Structure 1
Amino acid sequence: MTTLLYGRPPAVFDPPGAAVQTSPLIPGSTALEDIAPGSAEAAMIYAPPGAVERRYTLALALRALKPGGRLDVMAPKDKGGSRLGKELKAFGLEVNESAKAHHRRCVVIRPETVQGLDAAILEGAPRLVDGLDAWSQPGVFAWDRIDPGTALLAQHLPPLKGAGADLGCGFGALATVVLRSPTVAALRLIDLDRRAVAMAQKNVTDARATFDWADVRTLPADGALDFIVSNPPFHDGGSEDKRLGQKFIRQAAGLLKKGGVLWLVANRHLPYEAELNEAFKRVRPVADTGGYKIFEAVK
């Protein structure tokens, strides 16, 4: 029996132990897009918060299920859960909906025919974004625009040199700026989101770039890099978590060689100064404008 799992549902929902993980945010998982249509008997989906991304995920799961297969979907009430039932009914499904642990849960049995799958998959698929001149996909961070923090950091970056990394590379906007410097020997683009890495590979075609689908927080600290650029995340599962950025700072220090430099942008309210001063020999505030702050930190 093939059972699919998307994300990490809370234990109260009894997620299946022997299941094929398909979340793009869990490195090493199988892409839900690659599951053969009609090949799975059951799927449990911890639905993402974005509406387009969520419908795309539901449509892919329904496509993967055999007729008669069971789809079990849940989400926090304030992060899409309150809309789950309506969205599933729009596919022409009979929905058994319940509430549990501040979540909404919907269970459906896949009928022979499901309406609207192709449209939902097309809406959430990768595309060349109008006005951005870059490939991206709903669900990727700032998927259809240049994030203001990234744009500000790009404006203040000097020409970098040597081997470096972009921690939390997104679809590759900042890496494109870094690679304009002819003295950059190599740039490693790293992101937790498989979709972001795939889009970066389409957008950044410079031979000096390499790509890693990985969790920055678990990278081995080899102290080999000359520079790092980063606009680190500060949300986990939709909730703000300042520890993410603080961990990125500590990881950056471990990845850099002595004298290596970190260029970091963060929202103004995030308390990263103490972490920077503890992990680096010298920290220089570069800019503080538009709700963002930029630091240059030398190891």
Structure 2
Amino acid sequence: MADSKQQGVYGEPPAELAEVAKDAAQFSPLMPGAAKLEERDHDLATLAMLAPPGTIERRYVLALALKALAPGGRFTVMAPVKKGGARLVAELEAFGLAVASAPRRHHRVCEVVIDRPLEGIDEAIADGAPRIVPELGLWSQPGVFAFDRIDPGTAALIEVLPLLEGRGADLGCGIGILARAVLPSPLVTSLTLVDIDRRAVECAEHNVVDARANFLWADVRTAALPEALDFIVMNPPFHDGGAEDRALGQAFIRRAAGSLRRGGRAFVTANRHLPYEDVLKASFKVVRLIGDADGYKLFEAIR
């Protein structure tokens, strides 16, 4: 953990604004191993942040950042104009702060100093905190992928999953929706849930209460994944930082192949437009299309 007087970044600033957060410590929930901003309380002298685009999530992390700063502390925050930057000044002013701001490279960059009592901090933190989503009956949190719904691709894969057995993994597990569909099988002996989002993993720990489940906060692309698995289920992400990145899902497929035993099976869902067939065929001995509806392709791939 960085010294408490150093800067911190929640998220990664764009390259052209990297100097704003130069040499910063990391507090992002998408940075495995990072410290929790939620646990800091009035001990930081400076803090720099790339604010997330979601309104509830953004107000939540802004409130966490302001709460983490000591009196007299300085907060620099930026956001793309079209992804929350246009509202950034008003949101900071709503916390009772005087805001200095300027446009820069299609972003709004704001700076405040903690020189007066803050307003509405606890309310913003409560609004963005983990909670049980009534529509799901499960723990989730604003900012987590599909936080208040079951993603259609995940739902489509659940519809075609066979009864699984042996040791498995759920890559990009989110809050545990797929895992909850897998673990009713008494033939499953273990299931490792992996996700890059700490918040999702913590919610999954609430939602998947099963002695056979274990949880890993890690980037699937670089994590030390279990080996010689019997099966893998996944609805791979295909966005990174808000932009479509087809290589992300392809990397998941390669990691799945490397983690399965010979004859092990991967069950994969993909938006129909994503070019996954070539990497599946290059990584697996047998690839079968087991579903194609509502814009999703569903594959079974055998190592």
> Scaled by the length of structure 2, what TM-score is found?
0.95
The residue that corresponds to 1:30 in the other structure is: 35
Q: Tell me the CA shift for residue 131 of structure 1.
A: 2.0
Could you tell me whether the CA contact under 8 Å between 2:97 and 2:116 is conserved in 1? no
Q: Does structure 1 residue 6 correspond to structure 2 residue 10?
A: yes
Q: How does 1:108-127 map to 2 (within 5 A)?
A: 108-127=112-131
Matched residue type, 2:285 = K
The residue that corresponds to 1:273 in the other structure is: 277
Could you tell me whether the CA contact under 8 Å between 1:5 and 1:43 is conserved in 2? yes
Matched residue type, 1:33 = E
Could you tell me whether the CA contact under 8 Å between 1:222 and 1:254 is conserved in 2? no
Q: Tell me the CA shift for residue 12 of structure 1.
A: 3.4
Relative distance call for 1:138 and 1:221 in structure 2 (3 A) is: closer
Q: 2:90 aligns with which of 80, 83, 86?
A: 86
Please state whether the residue corresponding to 2:59 is helix, strand or coil: helix
The residue that corresponds to 1:205 in the other structure is: 209
User: 1:257 and 1:296 mapped to 2: Cα distance?
Assistant: 15
Q: 2:154 aligns with which of 144, 150, 156?
A: 150
Q: Tell me the CA shift for residue 95 of structure 1.
A: 1.1
Could you tell me whether the CA contact under 8 Å between 1:167 and 1:232 is conserved in 2? yes
Could you tell me whether the CA contact under 8 Å between 1:49 and 1:238 is conserved in 2? no
User: 1:33 and 1:221 mapped to 2: Cα distance?
Assistant: 28
Please state whether the residue corresponding to 1:180 is helix, strand or coil: coil
The residue that corresponds to 2:300 in the other structure is: 296
Unaligned runs of 5+ in 2: none
Could you tell me whether the CA contact under 8 Å between 2:21 and 2:49 is conserved in 1? no
Please state whether the residue corresponding to 1:218 is helix, strand or coil: coil
User: 1:151 and 1:257 mapped to 2: Cα distance?
Assistant: 26
User: 1:227 and 1:264 mapped to 2: Cα distance?
Assistant: 11
Q: How does 1:1-299 map to 2 (within 5 A)?
A: 1-13=5-17, 14-35=19-40, 37-220=41-224, 223-299=227-303
User: 1:75 and 1:282 mapped to 2: Cα distance?
Assistant: 45
Please state whether the residue corresponding to 1:217 is helix, strand or coil: coil
User: 1:64 and 1:149 mapped to 2: Cα distance?
Assistant: 38
User: 2:66 and 2:163 mapped to 1: Cα distance?
Assistant: 48
Relative distance call for 1:222 and 1:117 in structure 2 (3 A) is: closer
Relative distance call for 1:157 and 1:49 in structure 2 (3 A) is: same
Unaligned runs of 5+ in 1: none
User: 1:97 and 1:288 mapped to 2: Cα distance?
Assistant: 49
Matched residue type, 2:123 = A
Q: Tell me the CA shift for residue 189 of structure 1.
A: 0.1
User: 1:227 and 1:281 mapped to 2: Cα distance?
Assistant: 14
